[in-house]
Structure 1
Amino acid sequence: MRLSKYILKRLVLAFLTLMILVSIVFFMFRVIPGDPVSMFIDSGLDQESQELMLKLYGLDKSLPEQYFIYMKGLFQGDLGNSFTYGKPVLDVIGERFLNTIVLTTTSLIIAYSIAISVGSFLAWHRNSRIDIIGTILALVVRCAPVFWTGMILLSIFAFNLGWLPLGGMVTSGTNFTSFFDKVFSIDFLKHLILPATASALYSMATPTLMMRTSMLEVVKEDYIELAYAKGIPDKKVRRKHAMRTALLPVVTMFAVAAGLAIGGSVLTETVFRWPGMGREIVLAVGSRDYPMAQGAFLFIGFATIMFNLLADILYAYLDPRVSLD
C-alpha cells in the first residue's frame, strides 16, 4: 500500500513538472527576440499576407488566448503545424523521436554492459595498478566532450580509413519498406556505429565508477566472507553474490541516464547528422520553425521526466530501505 501511495505521489509530481515545463517552453518561444510574430512581420510579405499568416497560426490572438488554445490542442495530441514542413509537428517528431530512442538505447546498452564488467573488475582488484589506470581512464573519458570524441572518431574511421560513413542514418537514396526494415539493415548499422560509440564512451565513465564504489561496499559485507568460508570459488562469489547486490544503484541509474541521454542528444546528432530530436531542435531554431522547436523540447522534456519517474519507482521497489514518505 505504501508503495502504491508513493507511486501515485510521484505520478502527480511528474504531471505538475510536465505542466510547468509546457508553460515555460510556450512563453519562452513567444517573448525571446525573433519570436513567431516578428518572423512574419519581418518576412517582407505585404500587410494582407502578414495578417493571413498570423491568423493561420493563431498568432493574431492575445497571449493568454494562445496559451489556452495551445493547452487544449496539447491534450488532444495537437502540437500545431510546422512552418518548415507544412504538416503537423507530431507527424514529423514521431519519426525523429524513434531515431533518437534507437541511438540512445544502443549507446546506453553498450555503455552499461561494459561499465558493469569493468567496474566490478576494478573493485575486485582494488588499489592495484590496473585499478588506478582504469579509474584514471574513466575520468579522462568522462571529461572529454562528446562532440570532440565524435569528431576524432569521424576523422579516423570515416575520413582517413573510410571504413564507416561520414554521417546520416542511411545512405542517401536508399529506400526501406518500414522503419524496422531500416533499423535492421546493414547500411543502418554501419551508420549507427560511430554515433553510438561516441555516446557510449561519454556515458560509460559514471556507471563504471559507481559500480566500482558499490562493489567495494559490498565486498565488506559478512555474507561475502561467509561465501568464502563455504569454499565457493572467487569468480562465483564475485558474479553470483557481490555483483548482484552491487548492481542495484547502477540499474536505477540507468533510467536516469536514459532521460539525460535523450536530452543531451543534440551534440551527438549534430556532429553525425543523425536525424533525431536533438538535431531537429537545432534545425528548427535555425530556421525559426518555432512550433517544431517547441514540440521537440516538450518531447525531450517528457521523456526525461518519465525516465526519472521510472528511476524513482525502480529504486523504491528494489530497495525497501528507501523512504516512501
Structure 2
Amino acid sequence: MAYFLRRAVHMLVVLWAIASILFFLFRLMPGDPTIAQLDPTFTEEQRQHVMAQFGLDKPLSEQYVIYMWNLARGEFGLSFRQRQPVVGLVLAVLPNTMLLTLGALIVAYVFGAIFGAFLAWHRGSWFERISVPIVLTTRAAPEFWLGMLVLSVFAFGLNWFPSGGANIAGARYSSEWNRIFSLDYLRHLVLPVLTLAIYLQGLPVLLMRSNMLEVMREEFVTMARMKGLPERTIILRHAARNALLPLVTAFALGFGQSVGGNVVIESVFSWPGLGRMLVDAVASSDYPLAQGAFLAIATVLVVMNFVADLLYSWLDPRVGG
C-alpha cells in the first residue's frame, strides 16, 4: 500500500508538471490564436473583444490559476476554432486512438511472443540469421514510410482496404457503438493497425527471444529434458510461460507510448484520433484544444507507466520494498 501511494502521488505530480509546461509552452510559442477567429477586416477593438472572450487579455499568472482550477474541475475550456467544449471534442476521437493502439499492440505482441519463441527455439539456424535483421529493419524504418508502403500495396495496388478515414463519407449510425462495430469502420481500421503493428513488433520479438534464451538455460528446463519430456512440451509449457512475464509490463508501457506516438500513423491514414487533432490544433494555434489533446495523451502515458510499476511490484515483490 505504501508503494502504491508513493507511485500515485508521483503520478499526480508528473501530471501537474506536464499541465504547467503545456500552459506556458503554448502561450510562448509564435502565432496569434485570434487569427482563426477574425476576419482580416476586423479592427483592433474587435480583436481585443475576442481576446477578452477567451480570457487572453488577463495577466499570464491569472490565466494559469484559472487554467489549473478548471483542470481540477475537469474543464478544458472551449476550442478557439470550433467553439465547442474541448472535453467533448477529445472524448469524441479518444475511442479511435485507443482502438488503433490496442489493436496494433495485441497483433504485435501476440505475433512477437510466438515468433520470438520460435527464433529462440531455432537459435543459430539460417532462418534466425535472416529474421533478426528483418525485424530490426521494420523497427528502425520511419512510420510514415511503412504507412506509405502499406497504402501502396493494399489500398492502391490490390484495392482491398480504404486508404484513409474511419468511415465512408456521409455514413450515419444510430449510436457510436454501432459505428465502431460496423464492418465499414473495421475495414478502415485494418491498415493503420497493420502499419503500427509492423512498427511495434520488433520489441516483443527480440524481448521474447532474449527471455527464452535465458529461461532455456535454467535448471528446471534441464530437469524437464532429463525426464524425457518432448522438446515441444518443454518450449511451450515451461520455457515460454516463464519468458512471457516481462512482456506483460512491456505491453503496459508500450500502450502508453504508442498513444503518444500515433501522430504520424493517424496523419498518414487520415485517422480521426488524438494525434491528428493535435496536429490541426497546433497549426491553428487553438490553445485549449491542443492542450486538451496533449494532456489526454500524457495522462494515458503516465497512467500506463503507473500500471507497469504496479505490475512490476506484483511480479517481483522486491521492487515494492
Scaled by the length of structure 2, what TM-score is found?
Answer: 0.96
Structure 1 segments (4+ residues) deviating >6 Å: 37-42
**Contact map agreement 1:101 1:262 (CA 8 A) in 2:** yes
Q: Which runs of 5+ in 2 are unaligned?
A: none
Closer, same or farther: CA 220–31 of 1 in aligned 2, 3 Å: same
**In the alignment, is residue 83 of structure 1 matched against residue 80 of structure 2?**
yes
What secondary structure, in the 3-state scheme, does the structure 1 residue paired with 2:244 have? helix
**In the alignment, is residue 239 of structure 1 matched against residue 236 of structure 2?**
yes
Which stretch shows the higher mean deviation, 73-82 or 230-239? 230-239
Distance in 2 of aligned mates of 1:35 and 1:237: 64
What residue is the counterpart of 1:307 in the other structure? Answer: 304
**In the alignment, is residue 187 of structure 1 matched against residue 184 of structure 2?**
yes
**In the alignment, is residue 47 of structure 1 matched against residue 49 of structure 2?**
no
Q: Which runs of 5+ in 1 are unaligned?
A: none
**Match for residue 131 of structure 1 among 128, 133, 137:** 128
Closer, same or farther: CA 43–29 of 1 in aligned 2, 3 Å: farther
**Contact map agreement 1:37 1:59 (CA 8 A) in 2:** no
Letter in 1 for 2:211: S
CA deviation map 1:71-96 (0-9, x unaligned)? 11111111010012111000000011
Matches within 5 A, 1:275-294: 275-294=272-291
What residue is the counterpart of 1:249 in the other structure? Answer: 246
What residue is the counterpart of 1:169 in the other structure? Answer: 166
What residue is the counterpart of 1:119 in the other structure? Answer: 116
Give the Å deviation of 1:51.
2.1
Closer, same or farther: CA 137–250 of 1 in aligned 2, 3 Å: same
RMSD across aligned positions (CA): 1.5
Between the two proteins, what is the percent identity of the paired residues?
A: 44
Distance in 1 of aligned mates of 2:319 and 2:96: 37
CA deviation map 1:186-214 (0-9, x unaligned)? 11111011100000000000110010000
What residue is the counterpart of 1:324 in the other structure? Answer: 320
Letter in 2 for 1:142: R
**Match for residue 26 of structure 1 among 23, 28, 35:** 23
**Contact map agreement 2:90 2:274 (CA 8 A) in 1:** yes
Distance in 1 of aligned mates of 2:25 and 2:209: 42
CA deviation map 1:14-35 (0-9, x unaligned)? 1101100000000000011115
Letter in 2 for 1:106: G
Distance in 2 of aligned mates of 1:208 and 1:42: 54
Letter in 1 for 2:10: L
Which stretch shows the higher mean deviation, 305-314 or 39-48? 39-48
Number of aligned residue pairs: 321
**In the alignment, is residue 258 of structure 1 matched against residue 252 of structure 2?**
no
CA deviation map 1:49-75 (0-9, x unaligned)? 222211111111100100000111111
Scaled by the length of structure 1, what TM-score is found?
Answer: 0.95
**Contact map agreement 1:122 1:212 (CA 8 A) in 2:** yes
What residue is the counterpart of 1:224 in the other structure? Answer: 221
Distance in 2 of aligned mates of 1:230 and 1:140: 40
CA deviation map 1:293-313 (0-9, x unaligned)? 111001001110001111111
**Match for residue 108 of structure 1 among 82, 105, 108:** 105
